Structure 1
């Protein structure tokens, strides 16, 4: 955790050379102190066996962090958790699949799961991803996929604060997770699909560096099952 604390107040002593004097009436400058976010949350991959062992925990994380509106008949999130686990089990069978988790130590010393992200390479010679096929991808992305440099990030599960605070900072946890997935697979581009009615997730992804397609590319993907975004 980082804490903002004020610098020591200015005194009446002559100004130290090179130090900018405070403006009259201006609040003292503030700076971040304490452990950096990268030290506070440890990111690591899980093996398939480890994912199986922690499947229920991952499902709970999805239910707690999902931005979708909860239906009255599913107030507990059990249905969303089960659907996520089924989807994850299917994605795990894809070649090159990788899942990263972020963990942090709690006050009692226990290690808690705070976030996860996963994906897999998209190749032209393999089945496409959840209905997204070559008819929906613009020519530029098809070329990247043909060279094995296109990586699909299927889910990024993070707490609300990661969606709303310091989204543009490189140490933002969502940015760390997506950057690690791409670098682990030497991917040139990342690609993801967002439900067209999920404005919260779209806003978060755009704040983490994802970009919508150009007008020409959008025309090629307008029949895709969701909104297609890319990440460099």
Structure 2
């Protein structure tokens, strides 16, 4: 999740804005509908960043970069998305299943999580590439519901995401949502060092 938005410092709802975002309706979105919603999803991405109180570089939205990433993810096998609505779009989470060969180019500074290759081979790991939430006093509840619904719908045992190691606000927020930091990630090319986070799913207890 190299570009997560929302969930920072909550703000008070604006006049006329719903104060019950925690009761947002969740809806699964297929590949075709996600493509149709790409404009609204891009607006959500921009609004999430611009409404954030974070003053750092991660708060600078780029419509083109997000749209390119969304388009690429929609084309991936197994792409899935869940959106949250309260009359309008207030959040979304999306990603795709991770395959066992994905881990061949991941380096962990503390060793790989036990059984990760077996889980990936069985389709048990789902990469959540983005969680977008409009800042709101109840945004954390929406994010928690979205990420869990996405994993449950995909019957995944674990969610996985990537965060720039310098993006401390996002790392702290994800940890507060139950994500576990399991090590470092890097590619053979590229200087950016990322952190690998995983999220156990309710499917593990079923």
Give the TM-score normalised by structure 1: 0.64
**How far 1:70 sits from its partner (Å)?**
7.1
Once the two structures are superposed, residues 176-208 of structure 1 have per-residue CA deviations (whole angstroms, 9 ceiling, x without a partner) of 111011111111111100112212211211111
Which 4+ residue blocks in structure 1 deviate beyond 6 angstroms?
A: none
Partner of 1:161, secondary structure, is coil
Equivalence map 1:28-39=2 (5 Å):
none
**161 and 144 in structure 1: CA distance in 2 versus 1, 3 angstrom threshold:** same
Aligned to 2:38: 55
1:58-97 alignment runs, 5 A limit? 58-66=41-49, 77=61, 80-97=62-79
Question: How far does residue 60 in structure 1 lie from its aligned partner after superposition?
Answer: 1.1
1:123 paired to 2:92 = no
The match for 2:107 is 136
How many angstroms apart in 2 are the aligned matches of 1:54 and 1:174?
Answer: 19
Unaligned runs of 5+ in 2: 1-18, 188-192, 201-206
Q: Which has the larger radius of gyration?
A: 1
Residues 174/166 of structure 1: CA separation in 2 closer, same or farther (3 Å cut): closer
Distance 1:49 1:135 in 2: 31
Q: Is the 8 A contact 1:134 1:142 kept in 2?
A: no
Q: Is the 8 A contact 2:35 2:74 kept in 1?
A: no
Alignment RMSD (CA, Å): 2.6
Tell me the distance in 2 between the aligned counterparts of 1:121 and 1:186: 10
Q: CA deviation at 1:95?
A: 1.3
Structure 1 unpaired stretches of 5+: 1-34, 106-111
Counterpart position of 2:196:
228
The structure showing larger relative contact order (alpha-carbon pairs under 8 Å, at least 6 residues apart) is 2
In structure 2, the partner of 1:173 is 142
String of CA shifts for 1:27-50, please: whole Å, max 9, x gaps: xxxxxxxx9755x31110122222
Is the 2:133–2:139 contact (alpha carbons within 8 Å) kept by the matching residues of 1? no
Contact 1:62–1:157, Cα closer than 8 Å, also in 2: yes
How many pairs align?
A: 169
